[in-house]
């Protein structure tokens, strides 16, 4: 409960924090997270005519209907996504420069844009070829107000085994394409010059030294254009699970998920893109001691396991810049070596359950095996007998629950343990009415499968 009162009208019996009306968001944030203790008092101005400072609402991005948006390589998943998003916000004219622009499978997408009131021109060509870029600019037939450079080529290989041709392959569309667009549009008054970059440019990625290097150039190209007073912005795109190259290659997605990589969604990309559309130009540095590129943003810097976990194999887990996350995990009580009941030293049985849960978080197939039911039943039984102060060697996972002698208080304790340790909900009746520990393990297995499926 938040109380608004004048000073002296409330005598708190519990610890009280006082905020003025200009900072009312702070107590609201604490209350939403259930982090407040005692009462909170917000002091209001003495005069009703006094103005309260407020933050101006951010205006959503609005595309232009009188000019053209030029996309290179924009017929892939992310290019189609951002094109549709621009059309929904007012864009009406698009030019797509792509080597696959004339392929029949793209006609359906052009028809989709037409239904939104847009005209789309497909130009077959390569952005690494300057003449093709000039041809696409002329095909627009009207001023170009925005550029989206989304071309990409992948030639993954170990750096030691990478040939020069493999090293050069990603550079042609990324680097040469950016230069060609920069030169061909030097006379255009652009609203934004948006460059698609990769999360790998921030931390690297196995087998993609060439692609990461090309994207590193793209990120630096933003600062170069800013030095000339020209607009430019970029997004370092993380692992995408519903649109884009990774989403279209399930094997690659599964490998990244198995390494505990966090999977972002289309909405994450579009929100970041919108922010960069609205930050196209150089911004005044607030602090002279360090440089911050406000026209570059990366997303997806998360993992599905604690960064100190031995099963966490994300590429950035040992990066010195992320030491703060290890400190936060240590403060939160997370450890790469699980303990039982808060005691030092690892219980082998608890280690087994921890490894199982970590594996299930990144690969749901682990949960669907028959061994999963038996493992859950064993751990629930071991915990149950611990609550009842019975020797663990006496429990039988196939014995009827009625023979175990479980009462309501122990059922509540077991329910709370299941909620905290396994992350699923069961009620006391489901526990007591289970035919056996094996049957209860099957119920928990079903609930956990439902839980992890809902996350995908």
pLDDT digit string, tens, across residues 318-354: 788 877 777 766 655 554 444 333 333 345 667 788 8
- Position 110 scores a pLDDT of 93
Q: In this predicted structure, which of 88-102, 263-277, 382-396 has the lowest mean pLDDT?
A: 382-396
Residue that has been written with the tokens 């609930």 in this structure: 447
- Position 11 scores a pLDDT of 40
Q: Which CATH architecture has domain 68-298?
A: 3-Layer(aba) Sandwich (3.40)
> Which whole number is the average pLDDT over 355-377?
83
User: Any residues with CB less than 8 A from the CB of 434 and at least 6 apart, and which?
Assistant: 401, 440, 443
pLDDT of 127 higher than 90:
yes
171 token code pair: 């550079």
Q: Are strands 39-43 and 16-20 parallel, antiparallel or unpaired?
A: parallel
- Position 421 scores a pLDDT of 86
DSSP conformational letter for 240: B
- Position 397 scores a pLDDT of 85
User: Taking Cα atoms as reference points, which of 331, 361, 260, 255 lies closest to residue 302?
Assistant: 260
For domain 348-455, give the CATH number.
1.10.1200.10
**6-11 contacts at long range (C-beta below 8 A, 24 or more positions apart):** 6/43, 6/44, 7/43, 10/39, 10/41
CA-to-CA dists, residue 275 to 196, 260, 298, 344, angstroms: 14, 27, 11, 47
C-alpha angle 20/24/57, rounded to 5°?
125
pLDDT of 167 higher than 60:
yes
Higher-scoring residue by pLDDT: 180, 429: 180
Strand partners, 43: 20
**Spans of all domains in the chain:** 2-43, 68-298, 348-455
Q: At what angle do helices 107-115 and 77-88 cross, to 10 degrees?
A: 10
Give the percent of the chain with pLDDT over 70: 82
160 token code pair: 């030691």
> Which whole number is the average pLDDT over 144-173?
91
CA-to-CA dists, residue 279 to 65, 296, 351, 380, 383, angstroms: 20, 9, 48, 53, 55
> Which whole number is the average pLDDT over 255-260?
78
Looking at 59-208, list the stretches that DSSP marks H as alpha helix, in order from N- to C-terminal side: 77-88, 107-115, 130-139, 164-168, 171, 177-184, 200-203
For the ranges 102-111, 246-255, 327-336, 353-362, the maximum mean pLDDT occurs at 102-111
pLDDT of 193 higher than 90:
yes
CA distance 92 to 72: 17
With bands split at pLDDT 50, 70 and 90, how would you rate the model's confidence at 55?
low
Under 8 Å between Cβ of 207 and 158: yes
CA distance 443 to 420: 16
Q: What is the largest CA-CA distance in the chain?
A: 85
- Position 330 scores a pLDDT of 62
Query: Model confidence over 421-432: pLDDT tens digits?
Result: 888 899 888 888
pLDDT of 399 higher than 90:
no
Under 8 Å between Cβ of 239 and 199: yes
Under 8 Å between Cβ of 206 and 255: no
C-alpha angle 367/370/376, rounded to 5°?
65
Q: How many residues does the chain have?
A: 456
* DSSP-based three-state secondary structure for 229: coil
Task: For the chain, give the mean pLDDT.
Answer: 81
What's phi and psi for 233, nearest 5 deg? -155, 160
pLDDT of 452 higher than 70:
yes
DSSP conformational letter for 355: H
């Amino acid at each position: 409960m938040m109380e608004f009162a004048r000073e002296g009208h409330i005598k708190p019996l519990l610890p009280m924090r006082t905020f003025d009306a200009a900072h009312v968001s702070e107590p609201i944030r604490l209350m939403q997270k259930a982090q407040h203790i005692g009462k909170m008092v917000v002091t209001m101005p003495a005069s009703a005519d006094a103005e309260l400072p407020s933050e101006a609402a951010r205006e959503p991005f609005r595309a232009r209907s009188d000019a053209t948006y030029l996309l290179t390589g924009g017929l892939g998943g992310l290019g189609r996504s951002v094109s549709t998003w621009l059309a929904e916000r007012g864009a009406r004219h698009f030019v797509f420069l792509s080597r696959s622009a004339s392929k029949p499978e793209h006609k359906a997408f052009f028809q989709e844009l037409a239904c939104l009131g847009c005209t789309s021109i497909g130009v077959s060509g390569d952005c690494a070829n300057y003449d093709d870029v000039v041809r696409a600019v002329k095909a627009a037939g009207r001023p170009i107000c925005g550029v989206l450079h989304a071309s990409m080529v992948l030639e993954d290989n170990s750096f030691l085994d990478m040939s020069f041709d493999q090293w050069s392959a990603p550079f042609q569309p990324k680097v040469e394409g950016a230069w060609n667009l920069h030169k061909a549009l030097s006379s255009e008054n652009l609203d934004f010059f948006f460059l698609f970059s990769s999360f790998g440019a921030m931390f690297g990625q196995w087998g993609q030294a060439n692609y990461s290097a090309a994207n590193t150039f793209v990120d630096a190209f933003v600062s170069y254009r800013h030095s000339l007073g020209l607009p430019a912005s970029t997004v370092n795109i993380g692992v995408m699970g519903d649109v884009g190259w990774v989403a279209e290659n399930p094997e690659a997605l599964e490998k990244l998920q198995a390494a505990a990589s966090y999977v972002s969604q289309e909405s994450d990309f579009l929100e970041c893109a919108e922010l960069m559309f609205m930050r196209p130009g150089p911004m005044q540095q607030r602090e002279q001691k360090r440089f911050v590129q406000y026209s570059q943003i990366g997303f997806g810097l998360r993992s599905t396991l604690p960064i100190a976990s031995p099963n966490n194999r994300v590429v950035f887990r040992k990066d010195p810049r992320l030491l703060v996350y290890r400190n936060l995990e240590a403060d939160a009580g997370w450890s790469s070596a699980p303990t039982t009941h808060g005691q030092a030293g690892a219980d082998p049985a608890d280690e087994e359950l921890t490894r199982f849960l970590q594996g299930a978080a990144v690969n749901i197939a682990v949960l669907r095996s028959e061994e999963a039911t038996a493992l859950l039943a064993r751990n629930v039984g071991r915990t149950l007998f611990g609550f009842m102060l019975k020797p663990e060697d006496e429990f039988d996972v196939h014995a009827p629950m009625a023979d175990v002698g479980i009462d309501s208080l122990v059922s509540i304790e077991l329910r709370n343990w299941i909620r905290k340790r396994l992350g699923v909900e069961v009620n006391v009746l489901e526990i007591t009415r289970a035919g056996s520990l094996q049957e209860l393990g099957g119920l928990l297995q079903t609930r956990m499968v439902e839980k992890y499926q809902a996350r995908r």
